Amino acid sequence: MNKEFKPLIHFPNYLKAGYYPFFKENPNTYHIRIEQVLKLVLEIDLQFIKGIDP
């Protein structure tokens, strides 16, 4: 790495938006998209993995 590489200047944005690509699609709906992904995992994916009844 060289002296021009300064990743910490981007850290506040990372804390705000994370690394999911949804933020690039539309920053205004980022949190809604993350919520949708969490619901998908909790309501559908876990049923198949652990046999959880929704």
- pTM exceeds 0.85 for this model: no
Phi, psi of 39 (to 5 degrees): -60, -40
Question: What is the tens place of the pLDDT at every residue in 1-50?
Answer: 788 888 899 888 888 777 777 777 787 888 888 899 888 888 887 777 76
Question: Is residue 19 within 8 Å of residue 10, measured between CB atoms?
Answer: no
Using alpha carbons only, give the angle 29, 20, 47 rounded to the nearest 5 degrees: 90
Tell me the residue type at 24: K
Question: Is residue 45 within 8 Å of residue 54, measured between CB atoms?
Answer: no
